Amino acid sequence: MGILDGKTAIVTGAVGSIGRACAEGLIAEGATVVVSDLDAAAIEKAAEEIGAARAIACDVRDDAPMAAFVEGAVEIGGGLDIAVANAGVVNVAPVVENSLEDWRSVTSVNLDGVFVTLKHAALAMVASGGGSIVAISSITGKAGYPFAASYAAAKAGVISLCRTAALELREPGVRVNAVCPGFIETPMVGANKDRFAELSGLDLDELLEQAQGGYGKPADVAGLVTFLASERASLCSGGTYTVDNGLTASLL
Ligand code: NAD
């Protein structure tokens, strides 16, 4: 018996570390999970490895393919109960060195993509009697983070989008929440550590040892996402939930 038995879920960006852990967490609690990511071969492989019901390749920025992705889950489950809007990218650069194109390459995935996911998921959930939407924001959506302005701004936008959507969707029974991970050991962080050190003169590993007690794991995020997806969180909507081992609780 899992807390998500009989539920149908979608997860975007499920080839990546946190998305995959979220899909695994939902499956472990009994949900039927349909996953998506950009590359067809990669998402097929991930789906097979984790036991997802179906893999559908699509870009979170594309409206019609995302509608088809949600429809694919509804076909399997007879409705949609859970959506995890997880896909994201980062660009580490000083704010003044961002071209408008650089800026949009991040905000289009991290904010527009969450909007597109949320919209289609919410429409399906309203049609099938309610559900739970969890968007992966970041602690950088709550406080400044040098050299990731487009990322931080988009993540702040996700928090705001979730709050307003939660209010509009309360009556049809759709809960909407934002999860803000601290620093989680994933390729996204690994790939940008050197550039961050170059720009800031700071060693992220050392910094995090002090500020967060080291890196978190994708499963730390998945645990909270699974709870918010479940009916145990039935009064949780419009919230912003932090998973950072106290990093943002500290002034220094
Ligand atoms: P990751 O790079 O391992 O995974 C991101 C996934 O998103 C990849 O599989 C990628 O292919 C997919 N993706 C990118 N653009 C896409 C698009 N346009 N359409 C569909 N899929 C797309 O990164 P991760 O660390 O697992 O990050 C997952 C989420 O968690 C992101 O939203 C990220 O911003 C957020 N987050 C991560 C951390 C961290 O420390 N790793 C902290 C806070 C928030």
> Which residue's alpha carbon is nearest to atom 18 within ligand 1?
59
User: Ligand 1: does its nearest atom lie under 6 Å from the Cβ of 219?
Assistant: no
Token pair belonging to 42? 């990669």
**What pLDDT does 163 receive?**
98
User: Ligand 1: does its nearest atom lie under 6 Å from the Cβ of 138?
Assistant: yes
**What pLDDT does 147 receive?**
97
**Each residue's pLDDT tens digit, 120-133:** 999 999 999 999 99
CB 53 within 8 A of CB 101: no
What is the rounded distance in angstroms from the CA atom of residue 156 to the CA atom of residue 143?
9
Instruction: Give distance in angstroms: CA of 206 to centre of ligand 1.
Output: 23
Given a cut of 90, is residue 252 above it in pLDDT?
A: no
**Each residue's pLDDT tens digit, 150-176:** 999 999 999 999 999 999 999 999 999
- In angstroms, what CA-CA distances link 89 with 19, 107, 189, 222? 13, 9, 10, 18
Instruction: Give distance in angstroms: CA of 86 to centre of ligand 1.
Output: 6
Given a cut of 90, is residue 119 above it in pLDDT?
A: yes
For residue 108, name the pLDDT band (cuts at 50, 70, 90).
very high
Calculate the average pLDDT of the chain.
98
Q: Region 241-245: what's the mean pLDDT?
A: 98
Q: Is the dihedral of CA 48, 53, 57, 58 positive or negative?
A: negative
User: Ligand 1: does its nearest atom lie under 6 Å from the Cβ of 184?
Assistant: yes
User: Ligand 1: does its nearest atom lie under 6 Å from the Cβ of 18?
Assistant: yes
151 is catalytic: yes
**Each residue's pLDDT tens digit, 14-55:** 999 999 999 999 999 999 999 999 999 999 999 999 999 999
Of residues 163, 68, 156, the one with CA closest to residue 117: 68
Q: Region 199-207: what's the mean pLDDT?
A: 96
List Cβ neighbours of 114 (8 Å cut-off, separation of 6 or more): 60, 85, 135, 158, 161
- List strands edge to edge, sheet with 240-243: 54-57, 32-37, 8-12, 82-85, 131-136, 174-181, 240-243
Give the pTM.
Answer: 0.99
What is the rounded distance in angstroms from the CA atom of residue 178 to the CA atom of residue 46?
25
